[in-house]
Structure 1
Amino acid sequence: MNRREFLRSVAVASVGSAVSTRALLAQRRASQTLADRFADLARHFIFEYYPWYRANPYFHWDQWDRKPPIDLASNYMPRLGAYDSRSVAVMEQHAAWIAGTGARAINVSWWGRDSDVNEIVPTLMDVMRAHDIAVTFHVEPYNDRHAYNYAADVEYLIREYGDRRRWDTFLLLQHADGASGPVFKSFRTILPAQSTDCHGVTSGIPDYVPDSVWRQQTDRLRQTFARDFDRLTLLADSLSVGRTKACGFDGIAIYDNYVEPESWAGHAESFSNENLLFSFNVNPGYDGMLLRTVDPNSCYSPPDFMPGRAAYDWSRPADRELATLASAARIRESFRTTIGLQTDPALVNVKHGFFLVYLNSFNEWHEGHQFEPMKDNDQLAAAERAVGYHNPINGRYRLDTLTQLLETVIDQ
């Protein structure tokens, strides 16, 4: 049995061997709900997942001169504290929280074969499998030549974590027509050749490559796996329609939470006009950590709080709750907007039977858009409170808000 035949048998088993593929397709065509169009709908909601935190010694929690375990590289104190991503107990708790929302997939931030993140992927996949959570990968810019390694990296991930595990946990995204296959997202995929800083100094972008390099990589992947998958979906992190098409990507999946939902319809239409897929994420906005020591000659400017770019006095409980309300509103707005665009029959996703929503993020604590529960404000120790964390009254409010929204779609 070749890979394609094996994967088809896996797909049929996953939706029940007693129901034929033809009957399923007829049923989905007869209904307009997402739940009927996609038998695996829960796996179309994917948490961005970052397994890069370490303790003893601390890593990532100590960025920008922070001093864990009390002073962390985040504006929020996690409910689990300064945890170690290698801990099976931490993975188990994360999996339980994720499964509790109704979502059934994660997108692992992957930093190359030699990274410490890659070392823990087998254990992470074992834990996620036990909770019926599928795993896919977000290829990160781990060095300045990452573009030249793209095809080899994706092939490695497919063979190492798909084939070697007999596809027990690797996400095979199903399309409305019954086709299925892996989906890969990447960051810093399409870049300008140079940039000019606040002093007027122009310099080259170290990891820029011409579009032809990306096209060689995407073409190579399609040739390598042409006989193996019904679909192989490659998504770029870009709003450039022309360059995304020239590079050979199937479409885009935007990571940037500063790209506001009110702008998504225009982008979706532009990509649809070129037959390119689009995926805009569900997010609570952005509340990134600040530098405490800034070179006066640098071009650094503190990141704005999103949504709204408002300035809050984080020492005031009333302001913290206003920020909480704003973030909850962004979650609801981004959810409604991405669902609406991806179910619009005039746009390309419906025509291709494609639906995919990234949830940004489960645990990117540096940028403050984590859905992972925070400590309730009254749970903060005196030393933690002195740091000035932004923790709200209810540290689960983001996860709870998302859970309520997913229930309206997955449980239709």
Structure 2
Amino acid sequence: MQQLRTAAIGVLALSWYPPGMKDDNGESTDDLVPAIMDIAHKYQVKVTFHIEPYKGRDDLSMYNNVKYIVDKYGDHPAFYRYKTSNGKHLPLFYVYDSYLTSPEMWTRLLMESGHHSIRNTAYDGIFIGLLVEEKQKNEILTAGFDGLYTYFATNGFSFGSSHRNWKSIKVFCDSNNLMFIPSVGPGYIDTSIRPWNFHNTRNRINGKYYETALSAALEVRTDIVSITSFNEWHEGTQIEKAIPKTAGQTTYQDYLPHKADIYLEITRKWAVKFQKEREKWLV
């Protein structure tokens, strides 16, 4: 949390599964959330929830997930709420792999007329769907999402993660009253866990790759930019401090010849630029 604060990052997007659930390689982590939020508050960082896909995720289970999160964590001072244009402060939820669920099913949750509608209830929020393929722009709109994000740190991997498409995506979002949250990353290398995926490796180029992504995000004038990631070491997208280290057969990435906190410094520099530019846009 101290590193996030140093880098002028305002919000931590926390990977989240419902209680008792987990991904294939980890443990159930919901019990850790109170401690994470307490420490986040200490360092003036807010926490939002990045809801992961799980078996059986549908409109009803998502309603229950959101209700659980808001009831359990909504009163915590670190709980992130986004200020909307009409002055409301609503929780913001990233929904990973939202395309795995049909737009028709999402409308039951995200449209006012939906069978399990969350709209205009105590659990209403800002729901951000994942854009991978171009056709999903319209699916996200039809489904009733409030915005979209691109997540992946590999420029060119998907339609959404390709910097060259961000301007047209922003135009689409502006035309349809959707938020656009481009995701930037410092590089990408996941061949330690996906040996076949070398073609998606992106070299950090001593920070230039990251700054190119941040510049592209700044150009499209968005309210929020997300970073993939703080600590996903297995995909080589981490920006947290790193020193040379080898454990067993694994040699971890470091940032030599630069300092251990070079990516935190770059993030802070661009956060300041972003804030200055936003002040100009709002004048």
TM-score, scaled relative to structure 2: 0.80
Check 1:244–1:386 CA distance in 2 against 1; reply closer, same or farther (3 A cut): closer
Count of residues in Structure 1 that have an aligned counterpart in Structure 2: 257
- 1:35-114 superposed matches below 5 A: 95-114=1-20
Shift of 1:285: 2.5
Q: Distance in 1 between matches of 2:121 and 2:102?
A: 28
Q: Distance in 1 between matches of 2:250 and 2:70?
A: 43
Larger radius of gyration: 1
The yes-or-no answer on 1:226 pairing with 2:120 is yes
Structure 2 counterpart of 1:356: 224
Shift of 1:336: 2.2
Structure 2 counterpart of 1:119: 31
Structure 2 counterpart of 1:334: 213
SS, match of residue 404 in structure 1: helix
SS, match of residue 149 in structure 2: strand
Structure 2 counterpart of 1:212: 104
**Aligned partner letter, 2:39:** V
The yes-or-no answer on 1:237 pairing with 2:116 is no
Contact 2:6–2:264 (CA<8 Å) still a contact in 1? no
Structure 1 counterpart of 2:70: 158
Write 1 or 2 for the structure with the bigger share of strand: 2
Structure 1 counterpart of 2:157: none
The yes-or-no answer on 1:255 pairing with 2:147 is no
Check 1:276–1:222 CA distance in 2 against 1; reply closer, same or farther (3 A cut): farther
SS, match of residue 190 in structure 2: coil
Check 1:100–1:222 CA distance in 2 against 1; reply closer, same or farther (3 A cut): farther
Contact 2:16–2:50 (CA<8 Å) still a contact in 1? yes
The yes-or-no answer on 1:305 pairing with 2:201 is yes
| Alignment equivalent of 1:181, drawn from 90, 107, 115 | 90
SS, match of residue 184 in structure 2: coil
CA deviation profile, 1:276-310 (whole Å, cap 9, x unmatched): 22110232121113348x7xxxxx44352125xxx
Check 1:368–1:242 CA distance in 2 against 1; reply closer, same or farther (3 A cut): same
Give the structure, 1 or 2, with the largest relative contact order (CA under 8 Å, sep 6 or more). 1
CA deviation profile, 1:226-257 (whole Å, cap 9, x unmatched): 1548x721110024121111211112011112
Check 1:339–1:221 CA distance in 2 against 1; reply closer, same or farther (3 A cut): farther
CA deviation profile, 1:171-191 (whole Å, cap 9, x unmatched): 011246643211111111013
| Alignment equivalent of 1:407, drawn from 272, 277, 281 | 272
Contact 1:360–1:369 (CA<8 Å) still a contact in 2? yes
CA deviation profile, 1:151-198 (whole Å, cap 9, x unmatched): 211121111110xxx24221011246643211111111013xxxxxxx
Check 1:281–1:189 CA distance in 2 against 1; reply closer, same or farther (3 A cut): same
Q: Distance in 2 between matches of 1:215 and 1:176?
A: 22
Could you list the runs of 5+ residues in structure 2 that have no partner in the other structure? 22-27, 155-160
Contact 1:235–1:253 (CA<8 Å) still a contact in 2? yes
Could you list the runs of 5+ residues in structure 1 that have no partner in the other structure? 1-94, 192-208, 295-299, 308-322, 344-354
Structure 1 counterpart of 2:158: none
Contact 1:151–1:221 (CA<8 Å) still a contact in 2? no
Identity %: 19
Q: Distance in 2 between matches of 1:177 and 1:130?
A: 30
Q: Distance in 2 between matches of 1:218 and 1:287?
A: 35
| Alignment equivalent of 2:241, drawn from 373, 376, 390 | 373
Q: Distance in 2 between matches of 1:370 and 1:221?
A: 40
Check 1:267–1:102 CA distance in 2 against 1; reply closer, same or farther (3 A cut): same
- 1:22-33 superposed matches below 5 A: none
Shift of 1:264: 1.1
Shift of 1:123: 0.9
Query: CA RMSD of the aligned region, Å?
Result: 2.6
Check 1:406–1:334 CA distance in 2 against 1; reply closer, same or farther (3 A cut): same
TM-score, scaled relative to structure 1: 0.57
Q: Distance in 1 between matches of 2:267 and 2:152?
A: 19
Check 1:222–1:133 CA distance in 2 against 1; reply closer, same or farther (3 A cut): farther
Contact 2:63–2:116 (CA<8 Å) still a contact in 1? no
Contact 1:261–1:333 (CA<8 Å) still a contact in 2? no
The yes-or-no answer on 1:146 pairing with 2:42 is no
Contact 2:108–2:116 (CA<8 Å) still a contact in 1? no
Q: Distance in 1 between matches of 2:147 and 2:180?
A: 6
Contact 1:257–1:286 (CA<8 Å) still a contact in 2? yes
Contact 1:261–1:334 (CA<8 Å) still a contact in 2? yes
Q: Distance in 1 between matches of 2:193 and 2:149?
A: 29
Structure 1 counterpart of 2:191: 289
CA deviation profile, 1:181-221 (whole Å, cap 9, x unmatched): 11111111013xxxxxxxxxxxxxxxxx4321111122359
Check 1:171–1:404 CA distance in 2 against 1; reply closer, same or farther (3 A cut): same
Structure 1 counterpart of 2:24: none
Shift of 1:224: 4.0
